[in-house]
Amino acid sequence: MLLTVDHRTLYRYDMPVRGVVQSHRLSPSRFDGQKLIEWNVTVSGGSMGGGFRDGAGDWVQGWTIAGPVSEIEVRVQGQVETSDLAGVLRGHKEVTPPFAYLRATQATQSDAALADLGALLQGADLLAGCHALSAAISDRIAYCPGTTHAHTTAAQALAQGEGVCQDHAHAVIAAARAAGVPARYVSGYLQADDTGLAHEASHAWAEVFVAGIGWIGFDPANRCCPDARYIRLGSGLDAQDAAPIRGISRGLGTESLEVTVAVQLQQQ
């Protein structure tokens, strides 16, 4: 599939700030399932700084925006050719060992309910257990936008039975780690329908490490493994760690955020 992306993030400050520094994970991952055709990231009033490829294989790019500034637009536009690898992250180069993703964070701290779900991974067939875990979380956490927030934990989302893709991914990660299986959070894009209409945000899913195969993606929000509709950007221990944009501002202004994402299928 040939997918085009138009991702706009608008930051507004109620009082001008003296400056902003941002760190971006906005470049598509390099692996066999996707080929970059063209990609452009712009930051209004921004100066591109240094960049590096981290241990997880993600490209991290720095930006600075000199103040006074009241509004910043980060715009991502590009095309990626994708193929369906049944969720397997094949051909991806990274040096961080899988066991590094056993460490719990505040968002992925396990409780008794998550540990019970993690028991699904204790059988002889870990891959089948991962599919069972993803399906169980789909059943236990109904997709319901607006019922959770950025700091909702996996345990809280599971207890209330509602959430969004971030909560689904955190729940998979927390349950897997409780069972001693490495798991991580993935940020990216999803071509969700054929309308081409803008979505409110980018997408997220989980990857679980299965020995003999490698990292495999699971998306409980859509009851599937990532396929050709998905564009992978980067990964981390949780949503905060894998955020496409992280930053800090200098000043007293309160920040508000507006995000739109449109992912369209192009005819080849």
Predicted pLDDT of residue 240: 96
Predicted pLDDT of residue 199: 58
Instruction: Quote the domain boundaries for residue 132.
Output: 2-266
Predicted pLDDT of residue 266: 85
Which tens digits make up the pLDDT trace of 220-239? 999 999 999 999 999 999 99
Predicted pLDDT of residue 176: 98
CATH number at residue 9: 3.10.620.30
Predicted pLDDT of residue 125: 95
For 41, the token pair is 């990231």
Distance CA 91, CA 215 (A): 11
**Total domain count for the chain?**
1
Predicted pLDDT of residue 194: 59
Does the pTM surpass 0.85? The reply is yes
Predicted pLDDT of residue 252: 86
Cis peptide before 244 (omega within 30 of 0): no
Distances 265 to 41, 191, 195, 268 between C-alpha atoms, Å: 20, 7, 9, 9
| % of the chain exceeding 90 in pLDDT | 91
Mean pLDDT by 10 residues, the chain (268 residues): 96 94 97 97 97 97 95 97 97 97 97 97 94 98 92 97 96 98 97 62 93 97 96 97 95 90 85
For 167, the token pair is 């909560």
Contact 18, 65 (CB under 8 A): no
Predicted pLDDT of residue 192: 76
Q: Where are the beta strands (DSSP E) in the chain?
A: 2-24, 34-43, 46-53, 59-82, 142-143, 162-163, 183-190, 203-210, 214-218, 230-236, 245-250, 255-266
Which tens digits make up the pLDDT trace of 102-153? 999 999 999 999 999 999 999 889 999 999 999 999 999 999 989 999 999 9
For 177-212, letters b (16+ CB in 10 Å) and e give bbbebbbbbbbbbbbeeeeeeebebbbbbbbbbbee
Q: Where are the beta strands (DSSP E) in 125-229?
A: 142-143, 162-163, 183-190, 203-210, 214-218
Q: Where are the beta strands (DSSP E) in 108-155?
A: 142-143
Predicted pLDDT of residue 124: 85
